[in-house]
Chain A
C-alpha cells in the first residue's frame, strides 16, 4: 500500500511541477509560442524526464559495494550500461564527423543527413564485418586452443580473479573467450549472411515471378508458402535439423550446410510474401504495361523493370531478416543442433556459461561471462535495425 501511495504522490508532484514549469515559462519569456501553446501532457513529460535523469545521475554515483562488503550488482551493471552508452554515442558522433570530412560529395551529403543512431548502426556493421573477415589476424589465440586455467573472470585483473593473458577470461575447459568471440563473428555472422542471401534469392525470385505471371502459378506458390508459414518456424527448424543430423551422420560440416538450406527455405517464405506484395504494386504501373506491349520477355520485366523499383523495401527487409536468421542460428546452437563444437559460436557460448547468470548478486564479473556473447548478438541486432530504420525512412521520402 505504501509503495502505491508513494507512487501516486510522486505522480502528483510531477504533475504540479509540469504546471509550474509551463506557468513560469509563460511569465519568464513573455508568452513565447513554445510555452503558450504547450499542452499539459508535454510539460508533464518534460518534468518526468528531468526527474528520471536526476535519479539516473544519483544512482550512477552510488557506491559499488554495500557497507557489509557485498557488491551492489545493480549499480555495477547500471554503470557498465551507462559507460557503454556514452562511449557508443561518442564513437558514433566521431564516425559521422569523419564521414562528413572525407569521401566523395555523395557520401559526405549522406553523412550530413544521417541521424546519430544510423551512424552508430553503420559503425557497428562495419566493425563486425572487419572482425569477421580478419578474425584469424585479430584473435590472440586459436578458437580451439585449450589453456590450463579454466573459468578465468573477465577484466584481466589478477586481484579480481582475472588474468592479463585472457582479457575477457576463459570458459569451463580453458579456451580464450576473446578469441572465441572474434571467431564467433566469422562463424555466426558469416553463416547468417550466406543463409539470408540464399533466402532472398529463393523468396525474391519466386515472389516476383508470382507477381508478374499471376494465375495458377501464383496460387500454387502462395498456398505452398501459407502451409510452410503455418508451422512455427523454430520448432519446424528443430524438427528438420533432427532429421538432417541423422542424414549427416559423422560429417559435421554437412550438418552446417543442411542448416543453411533449412533456415533459408523457412525464411524465404517471408521474403516471398514481401516480394510478391511489392511486385504486385509495381506490375500495375503503366511502364510495366508499356514494356509488356513492347513485347519484352519475363527476365527483362523482372530484373530491369521490377527489381530496381523494389530495392528499397527489399534492402530494409534484408536487414531485418538477417537479424532473425542470425537469432535463429544462435537459438539452434543454444539448443545444441546448430553450429557444432569445437567451432566457436555465440549461441553455444551463451548456453555453455548460462548458469553463471545466477551469480549476479554476489559477483557481477562472473555473471558477465554469458553476457559477453549475448551482448555481441544484441549489439549487432540493434546496429542492423538502426541502419534498416534509416533506410526505410530514406526510401519513404520523409523529411525530418
Chain B
C-alpha cells in the first residue's frame, strides 16, 4: 500500500526585504492512511509552513523552491488550480489555531458547515445539515440540534474549535491538518477538545498532521512524532519510542524543560508584616461584580502564584493592587500601611515600589522607543539619574537580564525576539528598584525553552534582590516551577490557598483537583486513562458546570 502523503526533500523559502531566506531545508515525511503525525518545534521552526505545504499551499511571500509533495499519488506542487480546488476541502481539510478568526462572523455555523459539501457536490444542503448535527453530537457539543443555528460569537472558544473540526470533517476528508487547535484554550477546555478530536479522527479513520509546541498534547494525539528546529528535521520516531528514548540533544532539552522546579522555601514566621496584603477586596466593572472578598498575603522574597481559568478574576485582582481599578470594598496594604485605592492618589514612591510585567511584551514596550530609553525612563523618573550615570545604570540592568548592553541598547523592540522583549519588560520593572512585582502571564506567549529561561531569571533576581512576586498564570507547570504559595481562583473568588507542596498533594478542593487533573502529562496513555477513570462527562467544561 502506498502512503497517503509523501513529501520528499522539500525546500521552502520566504521573502524577507529583498531576498529569499530558507524556512524549510529539505524535509521529508510519509503519512499512511489513518495515521496521526505530530509535528513539534518552537515558533519559527517551520511547523505551520510544512503543514500547509502538505496541502500544496504556501502563504503569500513564501515559495516552494525544490522537492515534491504527493497526496495519494497526485503531485500537488505541479497540480493545476482546478485540480487543487477539487482536493482541498473535500479530501484535505485544515483546522486553524484561532477558530474565532477562521469563522465568518456574519454567517451561522451550520451555513458555513454546509458550504464545503454543497460546493464539492458531495451532499445536498439538507443532507449536509443533518450530517452536521450528527457530527456536533459526536463531538459532544452541548445541544447539538440547535447549536449550529448560532453565530460564531454566541458559542465559547472550545465549542467553536469543535465546530471547526466538524466543518473539516464535513466532506469526510482523508487528511486533516490541525494547526495548534488547542493552544489558545484553557486546560479544562483543551482536554475536552482533545478528547473529541481524537475520537472523531479514530472513528472515521482519518489521517492527520497535528502541529503543536506542547509535547504533552502531542503525546496524547499522535502515533508518530517529528521534531523540527529552524527548518531542519531533528528526528522522527513513533510516540512511545520518542518519549522514552529521545536521540538528539535538542529533543532531550525539549523533554527536560518541565524538570525545572524551585525548592520550597521555609514557612514565613508568624507575625511578619507581609509586603502586600490584599484584604477582603471586592471589585466590579461598572455594575457587574467580578471579585468577591479576595484576601491573600505576599511576603518578602516569596512568590505567590494566582491560578485560574480565563475570567476567574486573576488579572482584575492585579488591577486592584496597582490601583487601576479601585475596589468597591476592602483595602490593599503595602508594608502594613493602606494604599490609596486609585493609582492617581498614590505617591511617586508608592508607585515605584510595585511594578508590573505584562503578558504580551509586544504591546508592553513602546515600538518607537529604543531599549535604552525604555529602561532609562524609570531610572531618570524615579532615581533622577541623567546623562552618563543613567546610561551606566541601564547597562547594569541589561547585564542583570543577561543581554549584552553594547549590542542591544540602541535597538528598537521590533528587532528583538519574544523572549528578549520579555527580558526588557523585566529590566524596566527592575529599573524602579521595587520591592514587589506583578507578573501577569509573563511566560504564556513564549516557547517552553524560552519560558524556562525567563523563569530561571526571575528566580535568580528574587534571590539576589529579595523581590516579592505575584505570579498570575493558568499554567500549572509554571506554578510548580516557581511558586512558594498558590492561590486558586474561580469566578472572582478564592477557592483554595496555601503553600505549594500542600496544593499538589491531595486532598484538594474539587475545582483544584479538576485543574490539576486536566494538565496533560507526557504519558501517551494519560488521556485514555483519565477518560476511563472519570468518564466523558466528568472532564472539561462539563465538569466545571456541574460544580456551580
Using a CB–CB cutoff of 8 Å, the interface residues on chain A facing chain B are 33, 36-37, 112, 285-287, 289-290, 292-296, 304-305, 308-309, 399-400
Contacts A37-B82, A290-B358 given; indicate if A399 touches B343 (C-beta within 8 A).
Answer: no
- B532: Cβ under 8 A from any A Cβ: no
8 closest residue pairs by CB, A with B: A308-B368, A37-B81, A286-B364, A286-B358, A287-B366, A286-B363, A295-B351, A285-B363
B 306-348 to A, binary, CB cutoff 8 A, 1 in contact else 0: 0000000000000000111000000000000000000100101
* Closest Cβ neighbor of A399 among chain B residues: B61
Contacts A296-B381, A308-B369 given; indicate if A289 touches B324 (C-beta within 8 A).
Answer: yes
Contact A290 B80 (CB under 8 A): no
Contact A287 B365 (CB under 8 A): yes
| A residues near B366, Cβ cutoff 8 Å | 287, 305, 308-309
Contacts A33-B80, A294-B351 given; indicate if A309 touches B432 (C-beta within 8 A).
Answer: no
| B residues near A305, Cβ cutoff 8 Å | 366
B 349-391 to A, binary, CB cutoff 8 A, 1 in contact else 0: 0010001101010011111110000000110011000000000
In the complex, chain B residues 413-457 whose Cβ is within 8 Å of any chain A Cβ: 428, 432
Choice from B82, B343, B364 contacting A287 with Cβ under 8 Å: B364
Sample 24 A-B pairs with CB under 8 A, ordered by A number.
A33-B80, A36-B80, A36-B81, A37-B80, A285-B363, A286-B360, A289-B324, A290-B356, A292-B324, A293-B323, A293-B343, A294-B351, A294-B378, A294-B382, A294-B432, A295-B343, A295-B348, A305-B366, A308-B366, A308-B369, A309-B366, A309-B367, A309-B368, A400-B60
| B residues near A293, Cβ cutoff 8 Å | 322-324, 343, 351, 355-356
* Closest Cβ neighbor of B82 among chain A residues: A37
| B25 CB, nearest partner CB in chain A, Å | 23
| B residues near A285, Cβ cutoff 8 Å | 363-364
Contacts A308-B369, A309-B367 given; indicate if A290 touches B428 (C-beta within 8 A).
Answer: yes
| A18 CB, nearest partner CB in chain B, Å | 18
B 505-537 to A, binary, CB cutoff 8 A, 1 in contact else 0: 000000000000000000000000000000000
| B350 CB, nearest partner CB in chain A, Å | 9
The CA of A36 and the CA of B82, in the complex, are separated in Å by 9
* Closest Cβ neighbor of A285 among chain B residues: B363
| B343 CB, nearest partner CB in chain A, Å | 6
- B392: Cβ under 8 A from any A Cβ: no
- B466: Cβ under 8 A from any A Cβ: no
| B residues near A289, Cβ cutoff 8 Å | 324, 356
| B429 CB, nearest partner CB in chain A, Å | 9
A-B contact count (CB 8 A): 56
In the complex, chain B residues 375-413 whose Cβ is within 8 Å of any chain A Cβ: 377-378, 381-382
| B413 CB, nearest partner CB in chain A, Å | 9
| A200 CB, nearest partner CB in chain B, Å | 19
The CA of A147 and the CA of B313, in the complex, are separated in Å by 83
| B residues near A309, Cβ cutoff 8 Å | 366-368
| B496 CB, nearest partner CB in chain A, Å | 30
The CA of A309 and the CA of B413, in the complex, are separated in Å by 13
The CA of A286 and the CA of B366, in the complex, are separated in Å by 9
| B residues near A286, Cβ cutoff 8 Å | 358, 360, 363-364
The CA of A36 and the CA of B81, in the complex, are separated in Å by 8
The CA of A294 and the CA of B377, in the complex, are separated in Å by 10
- B153: Cβ under 8 A from any A Cβ: no
| A residues near B18, Cβ cutoff 8 Å | 112
* Closest Cβ neighbor of B319 among chain A residues: A289
- B265: Cβ under 8 A from any A Cβ: no
Contact A400 B363 (CB under 8 A): no
The CA of A399 and the CA of B323, in the complex, are separated in Å by 42
Give the number of residues in B that approach A within 8 Å (Cβ atoms). 31
Using a CB–CB cutoff of 8 Å, the interface residues on chain B facing chain A are 15, 18, 60-61, 80-82, 322-324, 343, 346, 348, 351, 355-356, 358, 360, 363-369, 377-378, 381-382, 428, 432
- Other 13 A-B pairs with CB < 8 A, given A37-B82, A287-B364, A290-B358: A36-B81, A37-B81, A112-B18, A286-B358, A287-B365, A289-B356, A290-B364, A293-B324, A295-B346, A295-B381, A304-B369, A308-B369, A399-B15
| B358 CB, nearest partner CB in chain A, Å | 4
The CA of A306 and the CA of B260, in the complex, are separated in Å by 40
| A residues near B81, Cβ cutoff 8 Å | 36-37
The CA of A112 and the CA of B18, in the complex, are separated in Å by 10
The CA of A140 and the CA of B80, in the complex, are separated in Å by 65
The CA of A287 and the CA of B356, in the complex, are separated in Å by 11
| A residues near B348, Cβ cutoff 8 Å | 295
| B residues near A33, Cβ cutoff 8 Å | 80
| A34 CB, nearest partner CB in chain B, Å | 11
The CA of A207 and the CA of B422, in the complex, are separated in Å by 32
The CA of A295 and the CA of B381, in the complex, are separated in Å by 9
| B residues near A308, Cβ cutoff 8 Å | 366, 368-369
The CA of A112 and the CA of B82, in the complex, are separated in Å by 37
| A269 CB, nearest partner CB in chain B, Å | 27
| A residues near B358, Cβ cutoff 8 Å | 286, 290
| A281 CB, nearest partner CB in chain B, Å | 11
The CA of A286 and the CA of B422, in the complex, are separated in Å by 13
Choice from A287, A294, A304 contacting B363 with Cβ under 8 Å: A287
| B residues near A294, Cβ cutoff 8 Å | 351, 377-378, 381-382, 432
Contact A400 B61 (CB under 8 A): yes
The CA of A295 and the CA of B380, in the complex, are separated in Å by 13
| B residues near A304, Cβ cutoff 8 Å | 369
Contact A292 B343 (CB under 8 A): yes
The CA of A42 and the CA of B428, in the complex, are separated in Å by 55
| A residues near B80, Cβ cutoff 8 Å | 33, 36-37
| B20 CB, nearest partner CB in chain A, Å | 13
The CA of A99 and the CA of B444, in the complex, are separated in Å by 46
| A residues near B363, Cβ cutoff 8 Å | 285-287
* Closest Cβ neighbor of A287 among chain B residues: B366
| A residues near B61, Cβ cutoff 8 Å | 399-400
| B residues near A112, Cβ cutoff 8 Å | 18
| A47 CB, nearest partner CB in chain B, Å | 21
The CA of A102 and the CA of B61, in the complex, are separated in Å by 30
The CA of A89 and the CA of B369, in the complex, are separated in Å by 39
The CA of A33 and the CA of B356, in the complex, are separated in Å by 55
The CA of A285 and the CA of B369, in the complex, are separated in Å by 14
The CA of A309 and the CA of B322, in the complex, are separated in Å by 25
The CA of A400 and the CA of B348, in the complex, are separated in Å by 48
The CA of A400 and the CA of B80, in the complex, are separated in Å by 24
| B residues near A292, Cβ cutoff 8 Å | 324, 343
The CA of A33 and the CA of B364, in the complex, are separated in Å by 46
| A39 CB, nearest partner CB in chain B, Å | 9
| B366 CB, nearest partner CB in chain A, Å | 5
The CA of A294 and the CA of B355, in the complex, are separated in Å by 8
The CA of A290 and the CA of B429, in the complex, are separated in Å by 9
| A176 CB, nearest partner CB in chain B, Å | 49
| B402 CB, nearest partner CB in chain A, Å | 22
| A326 CB, nearest partner CB in chain B, Å | 30
| A residues near B432, Cβ cutoff 8 Å | 294
The CA of A293 and the CA of B351, in the complex, are separated in Å by 7
The CA of A400 and the CA of B324, in the complex, are separated in Å by 43
